[in-house]
Structure 1
Amino acid sequence: MTAVPGGVPGASLEAVPEVREVEVADGVVALVNGDGGAGQSNSVLLLGEPVTVVDTMLLPEMAAAIPAALERRGRRAGLVVNTHIHTDHIGGNLLFDDAPIVAHPRTVAGMRRMIGERGLPALLAKVMPGFATRLADWDSVAAEPVPPDGIERALPSGAKVLEFTDTHSAADLAVWLPAQKVLVSGDLCFAGVTPLAVHGRVGRWRAALDRLIALEPAAVVPGHGGPAGPGVLHDLADYFDRVLAAARLAHAEDLPAETVWAQFDPGPAAGWLEPERTLVNIQVALAETTGKPFEGVHRVRQGQHPPHSH
């Protein structure tokens, strides 16, 4: 495991998290960004042909660790895959103008609407206040739309692309490496960090986890947090089962989401980062239960705090 400085000279004052290299399997390197909290997402290097970068972090200063890691190995990126639309996975696209950047067509349609929106940097600063100054002029480039089977054909030999819609986001891709039994999950899996379903559907995400668990991976590289064994998928499934149960209780007894959140037992999720996201997840699940659209925000309202763990 190697520590890689993620910053660049002259950057603004907020600290860029340390990026750690983790050799997950032969030809698979995870670049683990900080502790995986808000704005700190991972990238993965697949060192076959073409050399493939999966996700590019939030900021070019963070993503600078990607070409640096490749250069030390005498390699260059030949392909970039964005697993989904969220800014903390596409912000380093700007560094890869000499490699094709591809993503699911639904992801790209959203990217094209999102990138360049006048109010986006201010919104990002509210969602990820730890990087507010750096996000003042956040920008990226959109990927090219390629169907999942086309992305699979472009990946190194043997890699499989798994497609999920309306789970964590409108469209999420995972990369499965059956020879190494490694799952590169994107944000379909978080490790030690509370997930966020504000742009997806809790029920569909929970079902997607069953599909990932059935692969029986030896190692999982999550979108946030360090690489882990297959238990990380089971823990996340357990967490979502609890969220769905809380939403059913709120619906059955006509309780506000805040009430069931106050008595929520996180089980194995106790101690995960960003625990306030559980309220948002319960609200999303409750909207699914009632059939009403969820119109929420990424974070709980100012002054609200998650309950104590049971």
Structure 2
Amino acid sequence: MEVTLLRSLKALNGLLALPLLFAGGKVGATEIRVLPINDHVIAFYDGRPAENAVDLAKATWADHGANFVGVATYAIVDGSEALVYDTYPSVEQARQVRTWLEKRGVTHFIVANSHWHLDHVGGNALYGDSTIIATDKARAQLLRHKAAIEDGSLQGPPAITPFKVPEVGISQPTTVSVGRYTVELRPVNIHSADGLVAWLPQDKLLLAGDTLEDTLTFIAEPESLGEQYRNLGTMKAWGPTGILPNHGDPAIIAKGGYTTALIEMTRHYIRAMVEHAHDKDFATQSIERFIPAELKAGTVSVWWAYREAHHENLEKVAAFYKDKPLPRFDP
């Protein structure tokens, strides 16, 4: 399947000027930062505040799942065309991204949602004039939960209203043309069964959504960790030279992203979590217990907000495997 954005005479304009246009680093009045990956791939980054700068008593689902760990969205741009990969937890954040792109001459947008979790789709309504693509599974989840998303009962406030469900659902790899550039949208069962990563073959860049994170992955679906482990191995074989996750260290993202060591770290983490799920002290084991080599090597670093995520991971894995035999993992 191939999706082609509308072409225009402006398609080649402004590319050489893009690096200069990133000067200043912020969009609007908030902390969203613009991080150029190259002359046609742009990261927009928000969040990751210091621990002593937040009030946990006032934190929402958007803070715990995205803003505290740091959240990036991406755009592939050629002249007047752009593919936007994810739309932030809120319309306010998404509006800053769209405004920045429009000021640089973009008039035609297409959006890809990496999966159905709300911190990736919250700004969809801002693209009412554009096509939004997700996997069939993500679209089904969002249709099923639309009313609860809009009234704030799904995960609590803030509600996302109005909410736009993706119009296009895919189940097979789909090629999108953005001017001179090709983006392959590839469904994957990693992190969640409805995942969709974006592969840029001309750059060998991988926009990874939540399939990979620094410090560690949120284990959303413990029942499929064996399959996720295998799928991560397949993804590594694609040979990405740069990996751009939605939640990671902005300094590493700004330098072009992570290496495939991030994939191996994620495999080691989920495998070790499962293999130790029956340990008597499993509920109290630290992040450092599971990925010591990767922390020592600097593949990832411990960001404070991921300690809560790790604690939740321990609870989910322990509950799922409580009365089940532990699976064996292939090498």
Among 35, 40, 44, the alignment partner of 2:74 is 44
Give how far 1:120 is off.
6.4
SS at match of 1:160: strand
Q: Deviations over 1:202-251 (max 9, x none)?
A: 33333333233223322222111232656454245325424422432333
In 2, are the aligned partners of 1:247 and 1:282 still within 8 Å (CA)? no
Which runs of 5 or more structure 1 residues have no equivalent in the other structure? 8-16, 126-131, 293-310
Give the equivalent residue in structure 1 for 2:13.
none
Give how far 1:170 is off.
2.2
Q: Identify if the C-alpha distance between structure 1 residues 264 and 162 changes in structure 2 by more than 3 Å, giving closer, same or farther.
A: same
Give the equivalent residue in structure 1 for 2:100.
69
The residue type paired with residue 45 of structure 2 is: V
Which runs of 5 or more structure 2 residues have no equivalent in the other structure? 1-21, 50-63, 325-331
What TM-score do you get using the length of structure 1 for normalisation? Answer: 0.74
CA root-mean-square deviation: 3.1
Among 173, 188, 206, the alignment partner of 1:164 is 188
Give how far 1:83 is off.
1.1
Among 256, 261, 282, the alignment partner of 1:257 is 282
What TM-score do you get using the length of structure 2 for normalisation? Answer: 0.70
Among 219, 231, 241, the alignment partner of 1:218 is 241
Q: State the distance in 1 between where 2:256 and 2:25 align.
A: 22
Moved more, 145-154 or 273-282: 145-154
Among 258, 271, 275, the alignment partner of 2:302 is 271
Q: Identify if the C-alpha distance between structure 1 residues 212 and 155 changes in structure 2 by more than 3 Å, giving closer, same or farther.
A: farther
Give how far 1:91 is off.
0.7
Q: State the distance in 2 between where 1:155 and 1:198 align.
A: 32
Give how far 1:115 is off.
1.7
Q: State the distance in 1 between where 2:144 and 2:205 align.
A: 33
Among 115, 118, 143, the alignment partner of 1:84 is 115
Q: State the distance in 2 between where 1:19 and 1:249 align.
A: 39
The residue type paired with residue 202 of structure 2 is: A
More strand by share: 2
Q: Does 1:198 align with 2:225?
A: no
Q: Does 1:25 align with 2:55?
A: no
Matches within 5 A, 1:1-310: 1=22, 2-5=24-27, 18-35=31-48, 38-40=65-67, 41-48=71-78, 50-117=81-148, 121-122=152-153, 124-125=155-156, 135-136=158-159, 138-149=161-172, 151-153=174-176, 157-165=181-189, 167-191=190-214, 193-199=215-221, 201-225=224-248, 226=250, 227=253, 231=258, 233-235=260-262, 237-251=264-278, 255=280, 257-261=282-286, 264-267=289-292, 268=295, 269-272=300-303, 273-286=305-318
User: How many residue pairs were aligned?
Assistant: 271
Q: State the distance in 1 between where 2:149 and 2:40 align.
A: 40
In 2, are the aligned partners of 1:102 and 1:151 still within 8 Å (CA)? no
